[in-house]
Amino acid sequence: MPEPALHTEPDLICLSHLRWDFVFQRPQHLLTRCAQERRVYYVEEPVFDADREPRLDVHASGRVNVVVPHLPPNCDRADVLTRLMDAFIAEESIQRYVLWYYTPMALEFTAHLQPEAIVYDCMDELSAFANAPAELRRRELELLDRASIVFTGGQSLYEAKRGSHANIHPFPSSVDVAHFAQARRVNTDPADQASIPHPRLGFFGVIDERMDLELLAGVAAARPDWHLVILGPVVKIDPATLPSAPNIHYLGAKTYQQLPGYIAGWDVALLPFARNEATRFISPTKTPEYMAAGKPVVSTSIRDVVRPYGQQGLVRIADTVDDFVAACEAAMEEDAAARLRSHDVFLRQTSWDGTWTRMRHLVDSFLKGSSQPAAARAAGAN
């Protein structure tokens, strides 16, 4: 476990539905920065594989302590997790802390805790995702009632939630420009991409119910001379349903560190999202990441891509196969130098460092104005 930094800040306990080592995204960007200032504990959802006593396994990822509950099958999940968390907090001498939620479902074993603040970073409308728990909406209402402060992962999600809390703030996806700008300087292809002909149209990210598989198949069929490069894990959908063609290449999941090397070899970067309930409020982090990598971007009409990227002429928007193909053709004909200039003007306005600094300021402002645990204040307001 990493040594704690010298600080007087309260510790942060994050409750998440996402595995820390799955895909490097919003929680990882924010909490790796947070961990430079204080102890951070990232508590994942349980794994039901314990054959004896339930336990919490802890390992270090940089300065972040990743906590994985291992439970026996068919146990009383809420009761066991509550006891494990109480013991862990005592063992770690966690006395002053903030609870930072990505999943409202974690209330089942944390509602009794007495943090100095409760933060709900609502990065997605989880209730719209496939296989969402039936009680998720009720748990979210409970979390919104208890939260000290709420952040949303995009503008459209903020507009949907802003009537639900008095202290809510939109924080759209940001970008580590320096990391993805490496793609502008890479001249060699990774081995599994090197033999794929150009033009290459690429996507990286989780492949699930949010992807428009019919659109991918249609583009591949319309332009057999184009090659679609798809990076990422397949989740919650049957891999057999993925479109198959000689010019569609599924290269599997790649690490965050590997991504610039792959994007460097693409001619167009894609956001081929379906328009359904699961994508209604998404704010794809990869939009500014593609821009930082120096690639032209074509997306379907996801609201948080249309605003601001489409409206400012930074990303081409198309939904039908014919329009998407035409948009990709136009993207490949763009003046690259002019595109980089316009992208870089936009990118100077955003960074994960800046996002974390603004979030921290809002949390600190709340803490300075408080004199009792957040849960006690929430109870007193009811």
CATH topology of domain 11-174+352-381: Rossmann fold (3.40.50)
pLDDT tens digits, one per residue of 80-90:
999 999 999 99
Domain boundaries, the chain: 11-174+352-381, 177-347
Using the predicted structure, report yes or no on whether residue 263 has a pLDDT greater than 50.
yes
pLDDT at residue 378 in the model: 45
- 11-174+352-381 and 177-347: same fold? yes
Query: Per-residue pLDDT averaged across 245-272, rounded?
Result: 98
pTM above 0.85, yes or no: yes
pLDDT tens digits, one per residue of 21-78:
998 999 999 999 999 999 999 999 999 987 778 999 999 999 999 999 999 988 899 9
| 109 torsion bin: left (phi>0), alpha (psi -120 to 50), beta (else) | alpha
Percent of the chain with pLDDT over 90: 84
* Tokens linked to 30: 């924010």
pLDDT at residue 33 in the model: 97
For 177-347, CATH number out of 3.40.50.2300, 3.40.1190.10, 3.40.50.2000, 3.40.50.1440 equals 3.40.50.2000
pLDDT at residue 59 in the model: 97
Q: Kind of pairing, strands 55-61 and 64-70?
A: antiparallel
Using the predicted structure, report yes or no on whether residue 4 has a pLDDT greater than 80.
no
Per-chain mean pLDDT for the chain: 92
306 secondary structure, DSSP code? I
294 secondary structure, DSSP code? T
Strands in the chain per DSSP E: 11-15, 40-43, 55-61, 64-70, 97-101, 117-122, 149-152, 168-170, 200-204, 227-231, 248-252, 268-271, 297-299, 316-317
Query: Per-residue pLDDT averaged across 353-374, rounded?
Result: 86
Q: Which residues pair with 120 in a beta bridge?
A: 101, 150
Using the predicted structure, report yes or no on whether residue 127 has a pLDDT greater than 90.
no
pLDDT at residue 381 in the model: 41
